[in-house]
């Protein structure tokens, strides 16, 4: 998985943005490995599901930021700050409905 994301990172510009594709999976896998070691597989499975929900929430956040900036010509700081609520509401809502 890390190699897949690293190759995906090579396709994107700028390279500072592309680094997210290489770093995030490595950090997630390391965190899950440490969680399995310290707390067991069932707890790590719960954490993995939470990571997936957070990642999907981030995807919605990124799409929303792009839409707001392109459609309404809002500055980046205003768009990213205002769209944080989308990420929070989605992630907390899914956690309350399905993961709790």
Residue 83: its pLDDT value, please?
94
- Report whether pLDDT(94) > 90: yes
Using 50, 70 and 90 to split pLDDT, how confident is the model at 18? low
Residue 21: its pLDDT value, please?
66
A 10 A CB-CB count for 68 gives 18
**Is 74 strand, coil or helix?**
coil
Residue 17: its pLDDT value, please?
61
CB contact at 8 A, 47 and 37: no
Q: How many CA atoms lie within 13 A of 46 on its CB side?
A: 9
> Residues of the chain with pLDDT > 90: what percent?
60
The pTM of the whole model exceeds 0.85: no
CB contact at 8 A, 21 and 12: yes
């Amino acid at each position: 998985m890390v190699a897949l994301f690293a190759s995906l990172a090579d396709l994107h510009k700028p390279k500072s943005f592309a680094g997210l594709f290489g770093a995030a999976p490595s950090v997630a896998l390391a965190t899950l490995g440490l969680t399995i070691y310290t707390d067991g597989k069932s707890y790590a499975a719960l954490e993995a599901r939470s990571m997936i929900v957070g990642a999907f929430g981030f995807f919605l956040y990124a799409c929303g930021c792009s839409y707001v900036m392109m459609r309404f010509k809002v500055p980046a700081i205003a768009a990213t700050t205002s769209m944080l609520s989308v990420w929070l509401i989605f992630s907390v809502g899914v956690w309350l409905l399905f993961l709790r």
